[in-house]
Chains A and B, each alone.
Chain A
Amino acid sequence: MHSLKEMRREFQRAFNVSTNRVKVAIGLGTCGIAAGGEKVWNAVNEYVENEGLDVDMMSTGCLGMCYAEPIMEVHMPGEPRFVYGNVKPETAVEILERHLKYGRPSPEYIVGQDPRGFEPAPNIMELKDTGFFKSQVKTVLGRCGIIDPEQIAHYIAFGGYEALEKVLSEMSQIEVIEEIKRSGLRGRGGGGFPTGRKWEAAYNSPGPKKYVICNADEGDPGAFMDRSILEGDPHSVLEGMAICGYAIGADEGYIYVRAEYPLAIKRLRKAIQDAEAMGILGDNILDSGFSFRIRIAAGAGAFVCGEETALMHSIEGKRGMPRVRPPYPAQSGLWGKPTNINNVETYANVPGIIRKGADWFAAMGTDNSKGSKVFALTGKIRRTGLAEVPIGISLRDVVFDIGGGIQNDRKFKAVQIGGPSGGCIPASHLDTPIDYDSLIQLGAMMGSGGLVVMDEDTCMVDVARYFLKFTQEESCGKCTPCREGTMRMLQILERICQGQGGPEDIDTLENLALVVKSTSLCGLGQSAPNPVLATLRYFRSEYEEHIFNKKCPAGICVELLDIIIDPAACKGCTLCKNVCPADAITGERKKPHSIDPEKCIKCQACIMKCPFGAITKG
């Protein structure tokens, strides 16, 4: 058992030694790659080789600053860590040329600095003081973007597997469960069920064979915190699962990862291999007599598999259709055996709780919702990305302080929280604390923590239609209300968006939504109507505008638009006339043009083309 402690010291030494070397780290999570991180990597690599520089290149996971990707960090020995944002291949080389050769950082590209005990550079903001990080706590995401996720040594050097070691050497199964219960940790995947109680139920289920499952089927559009953890700190999830396995008496675990996350799968594979090679996973872990193996099951493209019973069917090789509960997985789960299912973020919270104690964790958050939660900020917000905040912080703080407010100085309209299962919350409720229970009262839900911010140019009927289309396509087809009801709701919404809505449509839609919500078999169907019900609750007048006045106030629903040319602003340049695919624009050169509304197909190509801003929708 002493070996891991020694190893940690050794790895820490190695990590510190390596901090005495020049290091360039580039964020190569999926978002980093999508933003062009690999091109930056290649350019830097080429530069370093050509110049013959003695530099350690390191790829890291995501810091959460999607808005600033690609991100490059430069560590010079004895200096703060400098984080450069929005780096392009050319600028990266430029920056390094100045920074590495002449020791001159380029403040214009720097997002922030992390002094790490060294003298901070003047006139450059510290990362933790920047708007994006000021209100954040980094517990689950603490290592993401700092360590190389493919190096188990880095994880161990940063306290990794200390909790597992502690559990195996000092704690009984019940003590572990009690600690988790005391921490107040609730499931981070949606419903917010107390994790300790879940574990306890699985522990109390008799049987020699039990399973631990990690739900990594993160399917909500607009949520990617699980992916970020798996890509940036995979060992934390493995450690959480192993602790759970010990607590409930399971010797086997599955991580169900959606097929769309190949990088996460790759990193998990490597992490499992490395951990097994070091005796941290597998048989007789750290000589404790406890054995635990983890396997990966790759999803095959079905959102509903995020539902726990559907997920288990999918691992068993069946259609991912949910079944009625009870029995709950704790009683009869995978292959009929007692099973504990939590999601990625939940497991990633576990090692910290064990290491620092339930009290430390419970000090964060509100009375009923403890700890921190990672939110994915997307939509019309200035700073998109991942933010980890104490539960209970207000929506306003998240949207305006961390997220920096709305893009292009538009007006905030609503924030959709919880993806297609959630609801939208209007400006009047911006000061609501974000916790499980308050959100449900507002008709939304925490869900996995996706926050899509909408501005005044967003049509709320269109938003409801968008989410309904998503859930309708992802319905498994098992129960009537979800299979048929989501389709009928979608049809009504489409009708309304196309200006074909009738006066009875709002009532029908609302009635149907309530039936689908209260009679569907699983969470997908029960929450599918939430976007409709929430928009009806807060933005009913927009529906009425569409139906009774045939107007889309946000100017989004094309069929309801009138495209008009302001004759005073039109210079008769004929550009619009030429671009119009429907030959709807007429007018002589140098004279104001006009649009034939009968012919116009509302494609708006003319608006984009007009150099004078003379064409508007209204």
Chain B
Amino acid sequence: MCNCGENLRDQRYTALEKTLKKYRHTTGKIIPVLQEIQDIFGYVPIEAIREVSRELKVPSSEIYGVVTFYGQFHLQARGKNIIRVCTGTACHVQGGGKILEAITDYLGLKDGKMTSDDMMFTLEPVACLGACGMAPVMMVNEDAYGRLTPDEVPAILARYDENRKQKDDEKCIA
């Protein structure tokens, strides 16, 4: 079995330790520390908050307050690719809900989770993307896809999944 995920995890925690060591005897450096942590993990894990609290001797309640105050920080891991699905009226009447379903099915999202287990995708339903004429619409990162049908979804996502940058020219509208 592949255990490269384990290594990745170790590397991140080694990096975390290094960061904490660097800031150990500082005061007031919570935000730079959290920025480095977000760079390492892509988000600020709760466990890291506990570590920062211990090392910098700042109550975790205070750190949590800082993390949730600033827009830059996320408490949940986010996927490599961000899928934004339009839930505006036009997309809704054109079956946007079915598109959403197709995506959650493909990613295996359950119980309100928005990020796939392999950390490849995060799903973000958004209000109108402003391409009603192309409804239903979704965007993967910067690429917009319009006039979607549910059965096209897996093929489109698969391309990002394998990290290939080719786009479906027929469907890509931007």
A and B, direct touch (CB closer than 8 Å): yes
**Which residue in chain A gives the minimum CB-CB distance to B93?**
A582
Q: Are A601 and B72 touching (Cβ within 8 A)?
A: no
Check A318 against B90 for contact (C-beta < 8 Å). Answer: no
Decide if B71 touches A300 in the complex (CB within 8 Å): yes
Q: In the complex, what residues of B have CB within 8 A of residue A62's CB?
A: none
CB proximity to A under 8 Å, residues B72-86: 72-73
Known contacts: A582-B93, A605-B90, A608-B133. The answer to whether A298 contacts B35 by CB under 8 A is: yes
Say yes or no: is B94 at the interface (Cβ < 8 Å to chain A).
Answer: yes
Question: Any chain A CB within 8 A of the CB of B135?
Answer: yes
Interface centre among A300, A314, A582, A604 (most CB of B within 10 A): A300
Give chain B residues whose Cβ lies under 8 Å from the Cβ of A476. 69
For the complex, is A603 an interface residue (Cβ under 8 Å from B)? yes
B108 proximal to A (CB < 8 A): no
Does A301 make an interface contact (CB < 8 A)?
yes
In B127-144, the 8 Å CB interface with A consists of 132-135
User: Quick check: B69 and A579 within 8 Å, CB to CB?
Assistant: no
Nearest neighbor of B88 in chain A, beta-carbon distance: A603
**B5 part of interface (Cβ distance < 8 Å):** no
Give the distance in Å from the alpha carbon of A470 to the alpha carbon of B135 in the complex.
Answer: 27
Decide: A300 and B34 in contact? CB cutoff 8 A. yes
Q: Could you tell me the distance in whole angstroms from the C-beta of A108 to the nearest C-beta in chain B?
A: 30
Q: Does residue A430 face the partner (Cβ distance < 8 Å to B)?
A: no
Closest to A304 in B: B69
A305 to B, closest residue via Cβ = B70
Residue of A298, A302, A604 near B132 (CB, 8 A) is A604
- Which listed residue, A301, A315, A582, touches B28 by the CB 8 Å rule? A315
Asked if B28 contacts A605 (CB within 8 A), the reply is no
From B30, B73, B133, A581 is in contact (CB under 8 Å) with B133
Say yes or no: B72 contacts A335, CB within 8 Å: no
Measured CB to CB, the closest approach of chain A to B146, in angstroms, equals 11
What's the nearest-Cβ distance from chain A to residue B65, in Å?
A: 5
The CA of A259 and the CA of B65, in the complex, are separated in Å by 19
Closest residue on chain A to residue B95 by CB atoms: A581
Q: Using CB atoms, name the residue of chain B closest to A300.
A: B70
Instruction: Say yes or no: A601 contacts B28, CB within 8 Å.
Output: no
With A335-B28, A581-B90 already in contact, the answer to whether A320 and B133 are too (CB < 8 A) is no
> Residues of B contacting A318 with CB < 8 Å?
30, 62, 66
Kindly provide the distance from the CB of A260 to the nearest chain B CB, expressed in whole angstroms.
9
With contacts A317-B31, A581-B132 known, is A259 near B72, CB below 8 A?
A: yes
CB distance from A323 to the nearest CB of B (A): 15
CB distance from A559 to the nearest CB of B (A): 10
User: Given that A259-B72, A601-B93 are known contacts, is A579 also in contact with B28, CB under 8 Å in the complex?
Assistant: no
Q: Is A301 a contact partner of B135 (Cβ separation < 8 A)?
A: no
B154 in the interface (beta carbon within 8 A)? no
Q: Give the docked Cα–Cα distance between A504 and B146 (Å).
A: 42
Q: Is the interface of B mostly helix, strand, loop or mixed?
A: helix
Which of B30, B72, B90, B91 meets A317, CB within 8 Å? B30
| A-B interface contact total, Cβ < 8 Å | 74
Interface size of A in residues (CB-CB distance below 8 Å) = 27
Contact with A along B86-103 (1 / 0, CB 8 A): 001111011000000000
Is A603 a contact of B71 with CB atoms below 8 Å?
no
B71: nearest chain-A partner, CB-CB: A301
Residues of B within 8 A of A104 (CB): none
In the assembled complex, the Cα of A259 lies from the Cα of B73 at a distance in Å of 11
Contact in complex: B71, A302 (CB < 8 Å): yes
Are the CB atoms of A317 and B71 closer together than 8 Å? Answer: no
B125: Cβ under 8 A from any A Cβ: no
> Are A601 and B71 in contact, CB atoms less than 8 angstroms apart?
no
Contact residues of A between 450 and 494, Cβ < 8 Å to B: 476
Query: Taking the complex as formed, is B24 at the interface, i.e. its CB lies under 8 A from any CB of chain A?
Result: no
Is B133 touching A579 in the complex (CB atoms < 8 A)?
A: yes
A318 to B31, alpha carbons, bound, how many Å?
8
A319–B132 contact, CB under 8 A? Answer: no
A314-B28 Cα distance, complex, nearest whole Å? 9
Closest A residue to B96 using CB positions: A581
Please indicate the chain B residues that have their CB under 8 angstroms from the CB of A302 in the complex. 69-71
| Contacts known (A300-B35, A318-B66); A609 close to B133, Cβ less than 8 A | yes
| CB atoms of B89 and A603 under 8 A apart | yes
Docked-complex contact B133 and A301, CB < 8 angstroms? no
Residue of B nearest to A301 (CB): B71
Least CB distance from B69 to A in Å reads 4
Taking CB as reference atom, which chain B residue is nearest A603? B132
B54 contacts the other chain (Cβ, under 8 Å)? no
Q: Are B31 and A319 in contact (CB under 8 A)?
A: no
Task: Decide if A316 touches B132 in the complex (CB within 8 Å).
Answer: no
Q: Whole-angstrom distance between the alpha carbons of A318 and B89 in the complex?
A: 40
Q: How far is the CA of A187 from the CA of B88 in the complex (A)?
A: 43
| Cα distance, A297 to B29, chains bound together (Å) | 10
A118 to chain B, nearest CB (A): 45
Shortest distance between the CB of A211 and any CB in chain B (Å): 12
- Partner of A582 from the list B31, B66, B70, B90 (CB cut-off 8 Å) is B90
B128 to chain A minimum Cβ distance, whole angstroms, is 8
Instruction: Take A603-B89, A603-B133, A605-B132 as given contacts and tell me if A581 and B94 are in contact as well, using a CB distance cutoff of 8 Å.
Output: yes
On whether the beta carbons of A317 and B28 are closer than 8 Å, the reply is yes
Contact with A along B36-63 (1 / 0, CB 8 A): 0000000000000000000000100010
Which B residues touch A582, using CB under 8 A? 89-90, 93
B73 A300 Cβ-Cβ under 8 A: yes
Q: A579-B133, A581-B132, A601-B93 are in contact. Are A317 and B69 (CB under 8 A)?
A: no
Kindly provide the distance from the CB of B53 to the nearest chain A CB, expressed in whole angstroms. 12
A302 to B66, CA, bound (A): 11
Q: Does A298 contact B71, Cβ atoms closer than 8 Å?
A: no
Residues of B within 8 A of A300 (CB): 31, 34-35, 70-73
Are the C-beta atoms of A605 and B35 separated by less than 8 Å? no
Contact indicator A301/B91 (Cβ below 8 Å): no
- The CA of A300 and the CA of B37, in the complex, are separated in Å by 13
Taking a contact as CB atoms under 8 Å apart, the answer to whether A605 and B133 are in contact is yes
Please, how many angstroms separate the alpha-carbon atoms of A582 and B89 in the complex? Answer: 9
Bound form: Cα–Cα A465–B35 in Å = 33
CA gap between A236 and B138 in the complex, in Å: 45
Cα–Cα, bound, A605→B73 (Å)? 37
CA distance A285 to B87 in the complex (A): 59
Q: Are B90 and A601 in contact (CB under 8 A)?
A: yes
- Are the C-beta atoms of B32 and A298 separated by less than 8 Å? yes
Q: Residue-by-residue, is A305-342 near B (CB-CB < 8 Å gives 1, otherwise 0)? A: 00000000011111111000000000000010000000
Would you give the shortest CB distance from B106 to chain A, in whole angstroms?
23
Chain A residues closer than 8 Å to B90, beta-carbon distance:
581-582, 601, 603, 605
Chain B residues in 8 Å Cβ range of A320? 69-70
Instruction: State the CA gap A297–B32 with chains docked (Å).
Output: 8
Query: Mind listing 11 A-B residue pairs with CB under 8 Å?
Result: A298-B32, A300-B34, A301-B70, A302-B70, A581-B132, A581-B133, A603-B88, A605-B132, A605-B135, A606-B133, A609-B133
20 further A-B contacts with Cβ under 8 Å, apart from A300-B73, A301-B70, A318-B30, are: A259-B72, A297-B31, A297-B32, A298-B31, A299-B70, A302-B69, A315-B28, A316-B28, A317-B29, A317-B58, A319-B65, A319-B69, A321-B69, A581-B91, A581-B132, A601-B90, A603-B88, A603-B135, A605-B135, A609-B133
Closest 4 interchain pairs by CB?
A605-B133, A301-B71, A603-B132, A317-B30
